[in-house]
Amino acid sequence: MSAELELKYGCNPNQKPARIYVNKGSMPVEVLNGKPGYINFLDALNGWQLVKELREATGLPAAASFKHVSPAGAAVGEPLTEVQKQIFFAPSSDISPLACAYVRARGADRMSSFGDFISLSDRCDLDTAKIIAHEVSDGIIAPDYDADALEVLKKKRKGGYNIIKIDRDYIPELIETKQVFGINFEQGRNELKIDREMLSNIVTANKTLPDSAKRDLIISLITLKYTQSNSVCYSYNGQAIGIGAGQQSRVHCTRLAGGKADNFFLRQHPKVLSLPFLSDIPKPNRDNAIDVYISADYTDIIADGVWQNIFSIKPDELSAEEKKEYLSKIKGVSLGSDAFFPFSDNIVRASRSGVSYIAQPGGSIRDDEVIEACDKYNMVMAFTGARLFHH
C-alpha cells in the first residue's frame, strides 16, 4: 500500500487539491470499491475508532452510523426484539450479532442516518451486507469482508459504493497534528480507556448501578469520545438512542439528545406501529412521515391533505397528552455527558426522558445542586473525572 491517497476534493468542490497521507510507512486503509472523499474518510476513521473501542470494552460486535464527523447512532450486537425489528425495518428472521449492531445503530435516528458512513468492528458478513444493501448509505469501513458480503456491497450505488478495509492492528502515533489557517496544532492522542472502573465514583444517595446500565453508560461515553463537542448521549438496551452534538450550551445538548431519545421510544407507540402506510412508500419516506406524525406538525399535514400521499386511511392523531403519558412510563435510560453539568436544569430535562443513570466528569461549582437534583429523581450518578471533548 502507498503512503497517500489522492481525493477528488476536500470538504467542498472548490477545495483542491486534497489527499490523505501518512508520514511513516504505508496507509492502514485500502479502498476496495468506489472513491471515498475527504468527509467520508473523516467519518470512517472516527467511526472505526468508536466501534473498535466499543468492541474492546463490551466484548460484543459494534457498529456506528456517522454523518458529518459525529455519530447518528452506535450500538453493540444485542438481539433484536420483535418491536425493534418492526421499527428498524429489520428482517423478521434471526440475523448475526454484527447485523443486529448495525440495525440498532441505524435505528437510533433513522432520519439523521440517511446517507451515513458505516463503521463495523468485525469482519462484514452477508447478513450485515444484505441489510446495508437496502439502506441509503455513502460507504462502509471494516477490518475485512466475507467474499459474498463484498459482492453484495459492490452492487450498491450502481457499483460506486465506497468500501474501505482497515488494518485492525494499526496503531497511530501518540502525537497527532492538524492545521488551521496555516497554523499547526499538536496534541497527544486521546488514549483514555473507558471501562467500568470509570463508573465507580457514585456520588448520589442511590448507588445501585446494574450491569446493564454500566454497559449503556460505557456506550454513551465511548460514543461521546468521537462526537463533536459539546455533546450528550442517551443510551438504552445496548445502543445510543439520542445524541446531541456540537451545541454551545450544555442544556441544549441535553434537550436535543432528549428529543431524539423521546422519538426513539415514541416510534414504538402502538399508534405508530399500526400506521396504515401505502404499500409502495419507501423506507426513507416512512421515516419522515413517522417523524412528522410524532411531532406537533402533524395537524398541519392533516389540514393540507398530504396524508393521502402516504397513508391508505387518515390516522388518528397522537395527542400531546398521549405522548406525555407514554413517555412517563419509560425508565432505565442512561445518559453520558462529555463535560460537567453546570446547572441542574440538565437533570430536570433528562428526567423527562426516563433517565435513571448518569455519568459525567464532575467538577462544576454547582456539583452539589446537580447531585441534589439527581437525588430528587432517585437517579444514580457517577463522576468519571474525565472530560471527553472532541474537535
| CATH (residue range 194-266+327-383) | 3.40.140.20
| Confidence at residue 153, expressed as pLDDT on a 0 to 100 scale | 98
More confident residue, 216 or 26: 216
Taking the C-alpha atoms of residue 320 and residue 261, their distance in angstroms, rounded to an integer, is 16
CATH fold match for the domains 4-171 and 194-266+327-383: yes
Q: Which of 46, 162, 230, 346 is catalytic?
A: 230
Nearest to 166 by CA among 138, 140, 142: 142
Indicate if the pLDDT at residue 371 is higher than 70: yes
Indicate if the pLDDT at residue 296 is higher than 80: no
How do residues 220-238 score in pLDDT, each as one tens digit? Answer: 999 999 999 999 999 999 9
Single-letter residue type at 1: M
Q: What is the mean pLDDT of residues 318-342?
A: 95
Q: Which of 52, 67, 260, 323 is catalytic?
A: 67
DSSP 18-73: EEEE-SSS--SEEEEES---HHHHHHHHHHHHHHHHHHHHHSS-EEEEEETTEEEE
Indicate if the pLDDT at residue 317 is higher than 90: no
3-class DSSP state of 278: coil
State the residue for C-alpha cell 454547582: 366
| Confidence at residue 7, expressed as pLDDT on a 0 to 100 scale | 94
| Confidence at residue 304, expressed as pLDDT on a 0 to 100 scale | 65
How do residues 236-260 score in pLDDT, each as one tens digit? Answer: 999 999 999 999 999 999 999 999 9
| CATH (residue range 4-171) | 3.40.140.20
Q: Which of 68, 130, 154, 271 is catalytic?
A: 68
| pTM of the predicted model as reported, rounded to 2 decimal places | 0.95
- Cα 343 to Cα 111, 262, 277: the distances in Å are 30, 22, 43
How do residues 256-282 score in pLDDT, each as one tens digit? Answer: 999 999 999 999 999 999 999 998 899
| Confidence at residue 12, expressed as pLDDT on a 0 to 100 scale | 95
How do residues 68-109 score in pLDDT, each as one tens digit? Answer: 999 999 999 999 999 999 999 999 889 999 999 999 999 999
Catalytic, 252? Answer: no
Single-letter residue type at 238: G
Catalytic, 68? Answer: yes
| Confidence at residue 308, expressed as pLDDT on a 0 to 100 scale | 82
Catalytic, 134? Answer: no
Catalytic, 324? Answer: no
Rounded to the nearest integer, the mean pLDDT of the chain is: 94
How do residues 161-203 score in pLDDT, each as one tens digit? Answer: 999 999 999 999 999 999 999 999 999 999 999 999 999 999 9
Q: So where are the chain's domains?
A: 4-171, 194-266+327-383, 274-317
